Amino acid sequence: MANKKRRCRECKDYKPVDEGVLINGGFYCSIEHATKYAFNNKDKGRKIRHTEQKKEFKSNDKALRLKCAQSAFNAFIRERDKLLDCISCDKDYSWFGQWHAGHYKTTKARPDIRFNEDNCHKQCSVCNNFLSANLDEYRPRLIDKIGQDRFLALTLNRIKRYTCEELKEIELKYKKKLKDIK
């Protein structure tokens, strides 16, 4: 084993293995070189891990665009209906719970009308999360609010796949509408 030599990570010199120190799989001439190497490279691993985990914003990332567009749309709906009661129960606008933008037809079932303002209204978190939108109460109140003709227009099935450009336009449109309302 005395004939075997390894290279020190710090000074790059070759030394016999029995004269050096092995720490975490790395070979060093001495403890001083090991501590110096560790001190000089302490942030190296953290930076690499952070850049691997960090998701860079890409203009063609459809999932991210959809999330941003949906967030802007929901914020607009909550602000638009700020002074209205829950669409599917008797909670009035002064309720201190959390308010959602509740879709009558879900975004999974009907992605073509996910950004339709007739399909989405202010709803309390209880109805939206725990009562699955409380559709028995939602339907008649929705018909009273938007009318029978506009309600029937929601039931027409159309296939719609959004492009990244369309999603960006939707996001900007609802951010502008939200700004105009406020």
Q: What's the confidence (pLDDT) of residue 43?
A: 64
pLDDT at 109 over 70: yes
Note the pLDDT tens digit of each residue in 46-56.
Answer: 555 555 555 55
121, 141 Cβ separation under 8 angstroms? no
pLDDT in tens, 136-152: 899 999 999 999 999 98
pLDDT higher than threshold 50 for residue 154: yes
Report phi then psi at 83, rounded to 5: -95, 10
Render pLDDT for 7-61 as a digit per residue (tens, 0 to 9): 888 888 888 877 778 777 788 888 888 888 878 777 665 555 555 555 556 667 8
Percent of the chain with pLDDT over 90: 32
Residue 124 has pLDDT above 70, yes or no: yes
Res 1: pLDDT = 47
Q: Is the pLDDT of residue 70 over 90?
A: yes
Is the predicted pLDDT of residue 84 greater than 50, yes or no? yes
Dihedral sign (CA 94, 97, 98, 104):
negative
Across-strand partners of 99? 124
Contact 138, 88 (CB under 8 A): yes
Pairing of strands 21-23, 26-28: antiparallel
- Could you state, in order of their start, the residue ranges of all structural domains in the chain? 5-53, 62-181
Q: How far apart, in whole angstroms, are the C-alpha atoms of residue 91 and residue 88?
A: 9
